[in-house]
Every structure is written in C-alpha cells, then in structure tokens.
C-alpha cells in the first residue's frame, strides 16, 4: 500500500517531498586520499538534474573548498576524528565521521522523504523512487520501519571468503522516509554506545584465526540492535547460526529493498565500479527471491542473463574462496 506522499511522487514526478543529504568531504581529507576530483560537484549537479525540486543539504567538515558547488543548505560539523581502538587495527575508523555528518544533515530535513548519499557518488536517474513504492508487502511481526528503505547492492555483502555473511549493507545510498533514516543514523557516537563497548570487548576476545567483523557489520549491528534488542552481537564475521540467517533474511525482505545501482539510478565512484558484478554482493534479484519467500508469494522472479552469469561465477568462485580462507585461517 502506497503512502500519500509516495503516491504524489509516483503520479506527478515531483520531488519537493524529498531532501538529499550529501554527506562527507568534498576533497581528499586527512588521510582519505581516494576522493575523485570534481565528483562532489558532479553529485550535486546530478541531483538537480534527476530530482528537480528536491532540497540539497551538503553536510561536510570545516575548511573544505566549496567553490562552484550548488546546494540549498550547508551544514558544517566539527570533525570527531577517527576511531582508534588499541589492539583492534581493523576497527572501523570513520564510524563517528559518517554518523556525525549524516545526523547533522538529517537534523535539517523537513520533508517526509530523505536520501543519505555519500559525497563521492552521484545520481544517473530517479527510479529508486518508484522502486521504493513497489514492494510494499511485509511480515507483520518483522516490520521495523514505516516504509521500506532502498539501499544499493554495490558492496552490500552476501558472502565473504565464500561463506554467508550477515548485516553487511553498503553505506553509499539510503532512501526512505526521513523518520526511518533517522532510526538508522540518529545514534550516539562510539564512546557513548554501550553496545559498541560490548562489541569491542567481544572482538578483542575473538580467536585470532577468525575473520574479524567488516566495518559495515559493526555499523549495522549497532543500529539494528537499537531497533530490535534481540539482535545478536557477533564475535566475528561468521558468528551465526541457521536461525540467525533466517532472521536476517526476514528483516531484509520486510524492511529493505536492495536495488542495483544501474537500474535504481545511482552512479558510482571509479574505484567501486567493476566490469562484472562482484560474486560476493547481493543483487536485486537475490533480494527479490527473499521478498517472494517471506512476503509476497505471488510475484514472478524475472529471468535475467546477468543474474544467470552471476550465479555461474558464484558456483565456481565461492567454493574456491571458502577453501582458500579455511586453509589460511586453520
């Protein structure tokens, strides 16, 4: 069932109901050296092109060169710095930075819908708007958001080293109701997070032969546990049971839509692009199968040549990756 605002977006293709929070640095910044020159300008211009009428909120750090950038509102936050934890070199260093810049931008949003977009990505279309309103069914005991949140599939990990991984979404793009995005991003900083302290303790006690948590898993566990206190805190990347896998799948089917960048309208920075989709990432059809399984048995899974190739590559690549990883960490 579509929301009133969603119906307006679909019917009139008007985007005044959407604010876009472009968060992050606009140039290379304090050790972050892979920011493409001019990509933030391209990002902002792409929003004007593909979401005419949407409000652009640029949320960044002090002392950035903003020459030539087109935005409606500027939010400057004090840089919280990197997160460093003794004994955990793999700890997600930019957690607080992403949290602060996203929170500060979302705090200025007055529209019913919002987009969280990294400053090093851009739009190539607006199909994510209709996608967000299309797959509206859910399991009543699984619904945690008002509406589904669209997240792009690039770097949304489905497997790692040939094995299933849970709670590892991409951080490039989020689109949904403003209230729902705030549920994800309006959280305390690391030092103020009781769950983060618990996770750090667990990570330190994990076996040195185990694969450590991905940064995205760390982020996701924090906001997911805030939404659902029953969420398991994992010790390492593969710390789960079959029951945990099913819980993650049901959450995805009822609350998230995983969409492919090229079909939803998201342009990627050069280092994120691949000629062939990574075998370890979710695809939209992977998600669609979960949606059919748990939420809407009536939908038809389309036949897709690229998905067919992806599954063939997975059949060969993932077992080899799994074998190599187990040999390395034995």
Query: What's the DSSP call for residue 281?
Result: B
Round to whole Å and give the CA distance between 290 and 100.
33
Residue 1 has pLDDT above 60, yes or no: no
Three-state DSSP at 57 gives strand
- Per-residue tokens: 224: 């997911």
Give the pLDDT confidence score for residue 9 in this predicted structure.
Answer: 62
* Stated pTM of the model: 0.91
118 touches 171 (CB < 8 A)? yes
Residues above pLDDT 70, as percent of the chain: 88
- Per-residue tokens: 218: 């760390």
Query: What's the DSSP call for residue 271?
Result: G
Range ranked top by mean pLDDT from 205-209, 267-271, 293-297, 315-319 = 293-297
Mean pLDDT to the nearest integer, 221-242: 90
Query: What's the DSSP call for residue 164?
Result: E
For the chain, the distance separating the N- and C-terminal CA atoms, rounded to the nearest angstrom, is 50
Residue 90 has pLDDT above 70, yes or no: no
Residue 31 has pLDDT above 80, yes or no: no
Residues above pLDDT 90, as percent of the chain: 66
Give the pLDDT confidence score for residue 128 in this predicted structure.
Answer: 98
Gyration radius from the chain CA atoms:
19
Instruction: Say which residue, 192 or 163, is predicted with more confidence.
Output: 163
H/E stretch holding 114 reads strand 113-118
Round to whole Å and give the CA distance between 169 and 152.
8
Round to whole Å and give the CA distance between 14 and 128.
14
Split at pLDDT 50, 70, 90, the class of 212 is confident
Residue 86 has pLDDT above 60, yes or no: yes
Mean pLDDT to the nearest integer, 298-320: 95
Q: Is the dihedral of CA 171, 176, 177, 180 positive or negative?
A: negative
Span 270-283, pLDDT tens digits = 888 888 899 999 99
């Amino acid at each position: 069932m579509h929301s009133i605002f969603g119906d307006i977006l679909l019917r009139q293709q008007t985007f005044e109901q959407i604010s876009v929070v472009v968060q992050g640095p606009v140039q290379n910044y304090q050790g972050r050296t892979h920011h493409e020159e001019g990509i933030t300008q391209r990002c902002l211009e792409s929003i004007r092109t593909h979401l005419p009428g949407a409000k652009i909120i640029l949320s960044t750090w002090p002392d950035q060169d903003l020459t030539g950038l087109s935005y409606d509102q500027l939010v400057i936050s004090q840089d919280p710095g990197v997160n460093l934890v003794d004994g955990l070199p793999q700890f997600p260093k930019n957690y607080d930075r992403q949290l602060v810049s996203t929170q500060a931008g979302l705090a200025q949003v007055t529209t019913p819908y919002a987009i969280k977009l990294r400053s090093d990505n851009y739009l190539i279309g607006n199909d994510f708007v209709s996608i967000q309103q299309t797959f509206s069914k859910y399991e009543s005991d699984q619904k945690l958001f008002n509406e589904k949140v669209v997240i792009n599939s690039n770097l949304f990990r489905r497997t790692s080293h040939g094995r299933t991984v849970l709670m590892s979404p991409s951080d490039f793009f989020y689109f949904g109701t403003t209230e729902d995005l705030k549920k994800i991003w309006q959280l305390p900083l690391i030092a103020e997070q009781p769950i983060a302290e618990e996770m750090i303790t667990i990570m330190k006690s994990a076996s040195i032969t185990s694969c450590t948590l991905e940064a995205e898993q760390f982020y996701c566990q924090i906001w997911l546990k805030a939404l659902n206190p029953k969420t398991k805190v994992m010790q390492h990347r593969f710390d789960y049971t079959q029951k945990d896998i099913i819980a993650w799948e049901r959450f995805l089917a009822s609350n998230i839509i995983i969409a492919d960048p090229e079909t939803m309208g998201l342009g990627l920075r050069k280092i994120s692009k691949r000629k062939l989709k990574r075998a370890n990432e979710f695809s939209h059809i992977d998600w669609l199968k979960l949606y059919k399984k748990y939420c809407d048995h009536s939908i038809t899974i389309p036949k897709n040549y690229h998905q067919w190739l992806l599954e063939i590559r997975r059949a060969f690549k993932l077992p080899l990756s799994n074998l190599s990883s187990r040999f390395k960490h034995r």
